[in-house]
């Protein structure tokens, strides 16, 4: 699966995208990300799986596209 980072989060992780298949649920992935990028913990963001916002601990599949999105400031 692909993990995409946007806005300020991209500056925290230093990456636009990482690829991984080791995590089966959203919480597992988040624990990994919080450990790897400590500063992420201070940020508020929401998560989209395959371009849909999710707010449950969904299962993750190999070809999923997961995106960490800071609060929106478009328009």
Partner 1 sequence: MKYLTNRKITKKFIEKILNKKDEKAGSFIIFTGKVRKDAVVNPGTRGKTYVREIIYEAYNKMAEKEIESIVKFAENKFKVREIIVKHRIGRVKVGEIAFLVAVFSEHRKEGFSAIQFIINKIKKKVPIWKKEILSNGKARWKKGSSYPKTPNFLLP
Which residues contact partner 1 (rule: CB under 8 A)?
Answer: 4, 6-8, 26-27, 30-31, 40, 43-48, 51, 53, 55-57, 67, 69-75
- Taking the complex as a whole, the smallest distance from the CB of residue 41 to partner 1 amounts, in Å, to 8
- Residue 42, both tokens: 């201070």
| Cα–Cα nearest to 7, from 30, 40, 31, 35 | 40
- Taking the complex as a whole, the smallest distance from the CB of residue 34 to partner 1 amounts, in Å, to 9
- Taking the complex as a whole, the smallest distance from the CB of residue 62 to partner 1 amounts, in Å, to 18
Cβ count near 37 (within 10 Å): 17
């Amino acid at each position: 699966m692909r993990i995409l980072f946007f806005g300020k989060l991209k500056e925290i992780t230093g990456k636009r995208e990482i690829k991984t298949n080791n995590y089966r649920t959203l919480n597992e992935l988040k624990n990994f990300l919080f450990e790897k990028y400590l500063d992420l913990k201070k940020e508020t963001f929401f998560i989209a799986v395959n371009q849909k916002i999710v707010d449950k601990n969904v299962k993750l599949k190999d070809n999923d596209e997961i995106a960490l999105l800071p609060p929106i400031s478009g328009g």
